[in-house]
Amino acid sequence: MSAEIINGKDLSLALKEEMKKEVDTLKTGGIHPQLTVILVGDHPASRSYVNGKEKACGETGIGSHIIELPKTVSESDLLKEIHRLNGDTNVHGILVQLPLPVHIDEQKVIETISPEKDVDGFHPINIGRMMTGMDTYLSCTPYGIITMLRSKNISIAGKHAVVIGRSNIVGKPVAQLLINENATVTTCHSKTENLKQFTRIADILVVAVGKANMIDASYVKEGATVIDVGMNRLENGKLTGDVDFDSVQEKASFITPVPRGVGPMTITMLLKNTIKAAKRLENREG
C-alpha cells in the first residue's frame, strides 16, 4: 500500500483559478479587493513570504501593497500605521508579517488590526468566533488543512484526530476546526508522555512540531491520513517536513508532501479571506 498524495500546490492552483473569476466579477461591480502587508526590517524568510503573497495576489487580480518599515521603527509608529490602514476604505485586508523585532509587542500589534480586516485570523475576536463556530476569518494554515481534507472527501466527522503541536497559529486553531467538523480531537505537545499511544490510534494525524522527520511509520496507524505542517531545511539545503515521508507513505492512506503540501495552501486561504473581507466591507459601506 502506498498513500495517495494530497498535493497542496495543485489544489492551490485550482482554487486560485476560481478566485480569479470571482475577483473579476467583483471588479465589474466596482469592488477591488486590496491586501496591504506591513514588513518590518529585512528578515530574509519574511521577505520571501511577503514576495510569495504579492505574487499570489497578482495571479488572482487582488490588489497588493507592501509597506516596508525599518527594523528600528517604534512600536507606537507601527501601531499608528495600522490605525491609518484600519480607516482606509480602499484596504480590505491588513497583514503584519511576523516575527517582529523584540522591542515590539506582537500581541498588541495583532489586537490593533481591525477584526474586520484581520485576514490572518489571529485577532482574539476572530479566534473567539472560530471557537464558537461563528462565521469569521479562519487562521490560514488550519483553514488550508481542512480544505485539503475536504478536497479528497476524507471523512472528518466521528473520526479521531490527533494534533501534535499547540501553537496559536496552527496547533490550537486546527484542533478547534477539527472539533467544529465533529471530529474527536486529542492535542499532544512537548510535554505529552507516551506520544505513540495517542498517534497510533489517530485516523487523522496533524503534525506541527518543527522537528525534521520526527514522525516515522512507528507512530502511525495503518490507513491514517497524515498532514505534515513542518517546514525544515536540512544541512544539505533540502526542505523536509516533520514526517518521515518515505516510511509513512507506505502505511498511511493519504499524506501531504513537503514541499508542495500545506505551504501553498496557507497563502491561498489568505487570498480567500481577503476576498471575503472585500465583499463584507464594501457591502456594508455600500
**Per-residue pLDDT for 34 more than 50?**
yes
Exactly one of 16, 34, 118, 120 is catalytic; which is it? Answer: 120
**Per-residue pLDDT for 31 more than 50?**
yes
Strand pairing category for 232-233 and 239-240:
antiparallel
Residue 120 a catalytic site member: yes
- 8 Å CB contact between 219 and 242: no
Rounded Cα gap, residues 101 and 142, in angstroms: 25
Give the pLDDT confidence of 207-239 residue by residue, as tens digits.
999 999 999 999 999 999 999 999 999 889 899
Residue 68 φ then ψ, to 5°: -100, 125
Exactly one of 53, 117, 159, 251 is catalytic; which is it? Answer: 53
**Per-residue pLDDT for 286 more than 60?**
no
Give the pLDDT confidence of 120-165 residue by residue, as tens digits.
999 999 999 999 999 999 999 999 999 999 999 999 999 999 999 9
Give the pLDDT confidence of 73-102 residue by residue, as tens digits.
999 999 999 999 999 999 999 999 999 999
What pTM does this model have? 0.95
Task: Give exposure, 117-130, as e/b (b: 16+ Cβ within 10 Å).
Answer: bbbbbbbeebbebb
Give the pLDDT confidence of 155-192 residue by residue, as tens digits.
999 999 999 999 999 999 999 999 999 999 999 999 99
Residue 97 a catalytic site member: yes
Residue with cell 515590539: 104
Residue 53 a catalytic site member: yes
- Per the annotation, does 165 bind a ligand? yes
Under the banding of pLDDT at 50, 70 and 90, the label for residue 45 is confident
Rounded Cα gap, residues 116 and 283, in angstroms: 13
Region 24-28 average pLDDT: 97
Region 241-259 average pLDDT: 97
For the chain, which domains are there?
Answer: 30-114 (3.40.50.10860), 140-263 (3.40.50.720)
Cell of 30: 466596482
**Per-residue pLDDT for 285 more than 60?**
no
- 8 Å CB contact between 41 and 101: yes
- Between the CA of residue 73 and those of 66, 185, 237, what are the distances in Å? 16, 42, 33
Rounded Cα gap, residues 165 and 208, in angstroms: 5
Mean of per-residue pLDDT scores for the chain: 96
